[in-house]
Amino acid sequence: ASKSALPIAAIIEAVNEGLEKDLRSGLEVETRQFVGLRGSEDMEEGLKAFLEKRKPVFKDR
């Protein structure tokens, strides 16, 4: 896949949850989502592919 499903799902969840909160709480949701993705195989693959100037191969992990 050209895009990992993990961050897309995290974005949708953050937007849906954030719409019901004030700005500070919404930013906390966004931070929680980002931290949850940190260290995922797909994040590492994305960074590695970027540095190697190639297309990433995501595994949705």
For the segment 4-56, what is each residue's pLDDT rounded down to a tens digit?
888 888 889 888 888 888 989 988 988 988 888 888 898 899 899 999 999 99
User: What is residue 57's DSSP assignment?
Assistant: -
Which amino acid does the sequence have at 33?
A: Q
At 3, the amino acid letter reads K
Measured CA to CA, the distance from residue 32 to residue 46 in angstroms comes to 20
In this structure, which topology does domain 5-51 adopt according to CATH? Lyase 2-enoyl-coa Hydratase; Chain  A, domain 2 (1.10.12)
Which residue, chain included where needed, has tokens 């953050």? 14
- Check residue 1 and give its pLDDT: 57
Q: Which residue has the higher pLDDT, 6 or 1?
A: 6
Separation between Cα atoms, residue 39 and residue 53, nearest integer Å:
20
Separation of alpha carbons 34 and 36, rounded Å:
5
